[in-house]
Amino acid sequence: MTRGSSSTLATATADYLFCTNCRKVLRKEKRIRVSQPSTRGPSAFIPEKEVVQANTVDERTNLLVEEYSTSGRLDNITQVMSLHAQYLESFLRSQFYMLRMDGPLPLPYRHYIAIMAAARHQCSYLINMHVDEFLKTGGIAEWLNGLEYVPQRLKNLNEINKLLAHRPWLITKDHIQKLVKTGENNWSLPELVHAVVLLAHYHALASFVFGSGINPERDPDTSNGFRLISINNFCVCDLANDNNIENASLSSNFGIVDSLSELEALMERMKRLQEDREDEEASQEEMTTRFEKEKKESLFVVSRAFDDDIISTSDVSRYIEDPGFGYKDFARRGEEHLPTFRAQDYTWENHGFSLVNRLYSDIGHLLDEKFRMVYNLTYNTMATHEDVDTTMLRRALFNYVHCMFGIRYDDYDYGEVNQLLERSLKVYIKTVTCYPERTTKRMYDSYWRQFKHSEKVHVNLLLMEARMQAELLYALRAITRHLT
């Protein structure tokens, strides 16, 4: 990204929108240019003053950026993440290590792999960032014309990039063997682990970018000789009557009373679940039944505004193959043969961590710290309530993401997911996690209406890390099977 560029969002053009009604119009006139409303600050979802206040209060953020930032400045992602400064340090350290420190892959490869990963979700923000970084680290400009211009060994990552991004449960040891087989285009296992970590990181980071409404850093017209893709796909229909972001969070027709009653109801459900857990534990058979029920119910958690027709711009598709390949529910009908990933059989703590650390020194420690940080992060508050134990809620969010990826924890009662996560929140979680490019401000505003924006950012951090861990578990399990 351009150093010192303005954070003000210039009026941008969208090549496509994901609102069904808009899309019908755009299909008739393929080249129509649609202006998007301008919003200020690092996020289109969060009032600018809330993020700015956090940055001015916490001077440590600036020190972290100086030490670990790859862009050399306080970019929009960092500004929004700084609402949780403790987590931000773990994030910046791990990302800096992946991109800058000693590792199996050359620096330009790392940024090009980030571009390939971000392109799976049409995330222009991350693509634009790493196009610049790719060139700064000595990347060959011709590669930016598309995959046909890159070395064959990079092209060979297409399949695992596609599967990791959308259906990681389909990854097998055969995919690993094809990549590491003897030949001039083969990948060593350390190189492959580095690539997999980068792919999973940037798939998940795309979820955070869209889920938090991260604004572009500059006017997305041209960069490095090619036209940049559109800004994050916030639909004009969602923002048309809600351009004043400063007043957006409580300006809807939902009253304060409704929001408060929603909050009180959630608090009451948490209390009741805790009491029930202390009184009587469900049997393993019942726990299994509840997981299968939740897994199947996730099939019906969809946004009415969307269908399966995913549109990809030519600017994005140059970096990917099979752009129409996307998330399909793990539990979809007719695919009962897919076995559930029992988390106890291959855990991050006992298996994934040691493998990734052995093949790509120290990254395991950094990732482990980041996973633990976001999972345990709490201020013991819920909206206006203080001294609240939010462990149950955080675990429900994390485990629901893993449930959608077919990962089951034997010791978790999935009945809690239905009790704690209301439908609008489930729609938001599934969208952000599985097809983040479809996220809209309306979805963001529709859940936890009385909660602080920092609490919603915490949700996005949990979703991002749960997603990354799920992708890594499937990929590392396949690598382990290849080795045994």
DSSP assignment letter at 334: T
Spatial neighbors of 392 by CB under 8 A, at least 6 apart, are 270, 273, 274, 416, 420
Neighbour-count burial for 157-182, b at 16+ CB within 10 Å, e otherwise: bbbbbbbbbbbbbbbeeebbeebeee
Cα→Cα distances 241→111, 197, 245, 264, Å: 38, 41, 11, 29
The answer to whether the Cα torsion of 78, 80, 82, 86 is positive or negative is: negative
Neighbours of 228 (CB within 10 A): 20
Alpha helix (H) ranges present in 298-390? 314-317, 353-359, 363-376
Torsion, Cα 156 180 134 69, to 10 degrees, reads 130
**What 3-state DSSP class applies to 222?**
strand
Degrees, nearest 5: CA angle 207-212-213: 105
- The secondary structure element, H or E, covering residue 94 is helix 85-100
**Catalytic annotation, residues:** 123
Angle at which helix 85-100 crosses helix 189-211, to 10 degrees, equals 140
